[in-house]
Structure 1
Amino acid sequence: MSQAQQSPSATARTARAAIVRQQGGPFSVESVEIATPRADEVLVRMVGTGVCHTDLVCRDAFPVPMPIVLGHEGAGIVEAVGSKVSTLRPGDHVVLSFNSCGGCHNCAHEAPAYCFNFMPLNFGGALEDGSSPLSQAGLNIHANFFGQSSFATYAVVRESNAVAIATDLPLEIMGPLGCGIQTGAGAALNSLKVTKGTSFAIFGGGAVGLSALMAAKAVGAAPVIVVEPNAARRQLAVELGADATIDPRAVEDVSAAIKAVGNGGVLAALDTTGIPAVITTAADALLPNGQLGLVGVSPMEANLPVNIMSMITRGIGIKAILEGDSQPREFIPQLVELYRQGKFPFDRLIKTFPFEQINEAAHASEDGSVIKPVVVF
């Protein structure tokens, strides 16, 4: 039996990929060769992939090996499967999510986002044996970013980080469910346990913050308050169900403004900004036994700017959050169902770009003109 079982159309072994060759450099769309999937892997023809802030951080500053193909919010169609793959078959539509080892304590206890090997598996730019599924003229191109490197027309991924979805969904926009959208929604529902009647303040109206808003409103949280300086994003937050929005530049005391809306404070708060002063405000706005979630990327030297005695006297908790504390195979289908019911319209955050315009898509993410750019192939 051959190592990979292929559908009749799965004959391509070349791909176009957006390669970053040096830190801070542009995405360069070039031809590459792609390896046949190994026993536990699948070959996916990409249909669309989100552009996430993490992609841009790794392009510009975070020390990943170069040259590399980034991208980690992919969606596509399975074209070939390895000999040990049992849950996927050619033709399946899949959303790709982060990589995890499957064998450590946290993976075994339904917490793959905290896999003991998360950093090398997702940021190492190579498979576990040091090889890469992508090459060019016989030289390896670093890949396997978040287990996928979805800024390419094809990706080789492990069976474990590809989640099958129904074929009647708009596949080209489904990719962000694998990271940014999942992170925001999961932060609200999984990490902070927001439920019906929970008062909730969200700091930042980007893709993560607005996904948290939609998820919170889907389960009946109230009031949900979004703190965001951009007027268009505040308006979108209202349209997505926010009970109140606050422009932090227009009020003298943001915490006091939240307390006025939330009857003395909120039971849950989520910071998506990573700004220490904002985190201080978020913690101050919490009611006794309130919970603060942190998903924003702070400067490397930043420390937690929260008064310990204030935390103790109120019994508040602080939770650093990766990937929304999600188990993708369970949580992504939950988000899809909410989307079908009209309760989670994440498509309103998305603007699509042709793959050849990936640099324009990245710029739109950086300048804030688009909340969630998605490149389509």
Structure 2
Amino acid sequence: MKITAAVVNGVNEAYELEQLTLGELYPDEVVVRIVASGVCHSDEALRVGDAPFPMPVVLGHEGAGIIEKIGSAVKNFNVGDQVVMAYNYCGTCASCRTGHPSSCNEWAALNMSGGRPDGSHIFYKEDGTPVSNFFAQSSFATHTIAHVNNLIKVDPEEDLRLMGPLGCGLLTGFGTVVNGLQAKTGSSIAIFGIGAVGLGALMTAKIIGCSTIIAIDIHDTRLETARELGATHTINSRTENLAKRIAEISEGQGVDYSIDTTGISSVMKASIQVLGIGGVSAPVAVTPNSVEFNTFMDLVLANRKLIGVLMGDAIPQLAIPELIKFHKEGKFPFEKLVKYYKFDEINQATADANSGETIKPILIIDEDYRKEEPLVFN
């Protein structure tokens, strides 16, 4: 089957739309016609080499589409079903069977190796060169092959053009607050970096009833969005004294929780330093940077904790329907974060995300989907 995909052929090279061939469909996989895909910072981290990955590659891991073909072993899905795609997991290891599929023993092999565990590939160039896939979905393509564990079925009335970002960025923000930090009603939280992950965390903090929600960024427009979505306080860390403002807001006590989505060393350290006694911090960015701190002074002395949270430690098949429900209720209005781009504008969408102009770019790959409900593009 011939498809069109946005291919990255080398580190820091631009996306190029190329014709590829889909490989063999395995029994536990489906062919998905991609309607739309969010553009995530993790895609950019791989493209520029911050996280090493075998190239050439088709990136994209916030895909939403329609099943066109199913493998012989696939159950509970049918041709024509609307799906959101998240990450793959084995389903049989101890982590998967105890409700932590993002800690799957095979997570890296299934999502980050560029191919299937048996070494085969999903995409091939016209000359037979294999092209790596990402997250077992590679949604920057007109069609892809995805494992059944990637799939979350959504109701036919849901607009797939909006749904894709639920599969990674928003899932990560939501899950980090609920599953990772296990934030409590009435608590305080500081969120560093007000992109899609940060705003997903912010909206979740509001839903669960955090009484103090502090949004920190260097873009005033993003801070305005944060206030609109529930931030009780905002700080522009480029123009304001962060430590002083946090001390004022917390009456010198520090915050109960913090999340860093920036991956910048100084910011990650600041997210630890603003914690109060017993506070917990979660750095969640894909980053090549590290952070240096004194374990006794910065953690032990105040009983602070620093935790890793991958994909929000969430079960996508449970969390994504919950986020859709919150969206319908007006509690998770993530449509306010997005801007739509045509598929061939992928490099512009990436540039706008990098500059901060767009919080969550969404590529419309199938422009014929719901043509009776036209979108406003970038």
TM-score strictly above 0.5: yes
Q: Which residue in the other structure is 1:51 paired with?
A: 39
* Amino acid paired to 2:25: P
Alignment of 1:138-149 (within 5 A): 138-149=127-138
User: What does 1:1-377 correspond to in 2, within 5 Å?
Assistant: 13-61=1-49, 62-252=51-241, 254-263=242-251, 264-300=253-289, 302-377=290-365
1:215 & 1:304 partners in 2: Cα distance?
29
Report the equivalent of 2:369: none
Using the alignment, how far apart are the partners of 1:45 and 1:311 within structure 2? 48
Say if 1:82 and 1:269 are closer, same or farther in 2 by CA, change over 3 A.
same
1:137-171 per-position Cα deviation (integer Å, ceiling 9, x unaligned): 25143233101011100110111111111111121
Q: Give, in angstroms, the shift of residue 305 of structure 1.
A: 2.3
C-alpha displacement of 1:217: 0.6
1:69/1:141 contact within 8 Å kept: no
Work out the CA distance in 1 between the residues paired with 2:294 and 2:98.
31
Paired residues of 2:43 and 2:60 also in contact (CA < 8 A): yes
Q: What runs of 5+ residues in structure 1 fail to find an aligned partner?
A: 1-12
SS of equivalent to 1:139: coil
Q: Which amino acid aligns with 1:170?
A: D
Q: Deviations over 1:195-226 (max 9, x none)?
A: 32121111111111111001111121111000
> Is the Cα contact below 8 Å between 2:45 and 2:286 reproduced in 1?
no
Equivalent pair of 1:276/1:305 in contact (CA under 8 Å)? no
Contact 1:256 1:285 in 2 (8 A): no
Whole-angstrom distance in 2 between the partners of 1:262 and 1:78: 50
Partner of 1:9: none
280-289 or 329-338: bigger deviation: 280-289
Q: Distance in 1 between matches of 2:351 and 2:274?
A: 34
In 2, Cα distance between the equivalents of 1:360 and 1:249?
A: 26
Amino acid at match of 1:297: V
How far the C-alpha of 1:307 sits from its partner, in A, is 4.2
CA contact (8 A) 1:269 1:292 kept: yes
Which residue identity is paired with 1:145?
F
Using structure 2 for the length normalisation, give the TM-score: 0.92
Q: SS of the residue aligned with 1:177?
A: helix
Query: 1:108 offset after TM fit, Å?
Result: 2.1
**What's the secondary structure of 2:175's corresponding residue?**
helix
SS in 1 for 2:266: helix
Alpha-carbon shift at residue 306 of structure 1 (Å): 4.5
Helix, strand or coil for the counterpart of 1:164? strand
Question: What SS does structure 1 have at the residue aligned with 2:191?
Answer: strand
Q: Give the deviation of 1:101 after TM superposition.
A: 2.1
Q: Percent identity?
A: 38
Shift in CA distance, 370/125, structure 1 to aligned 2, threshold 3 Å:
same
CA distance 1:304–1:327, shift in 2 (3 Å): farther
Shift of 1:57: 1.5
Q: Aligned partner of 1:370: which letter?
A: T
TM-score (norm 1): 0.92
Residues 310 and 360 of structure 1: CA distance in aligned 2, closer, same or farther (over 3 Å): closer
C-alpha contact 1:36 1:43 (8 A) present in aligned 2: no
Name the amino acid aligned to 2:77.
L
Task: Indicate the RMSD between aligned Cα atoms, in angstroms.
Answer: 1.5
Pick closer, same or farther for the CA change 1:362–1:221 going to 2, 3 Å. same
What amino acid is the match of 2:320?
I
Task: Kindly provide the amino acid, as one letter, of the partner of residue 154 in structure 1.
Answer: H
Which whole-Å CA distance do the structure 1 matches of 2:260 and 2:296 have between them? 18
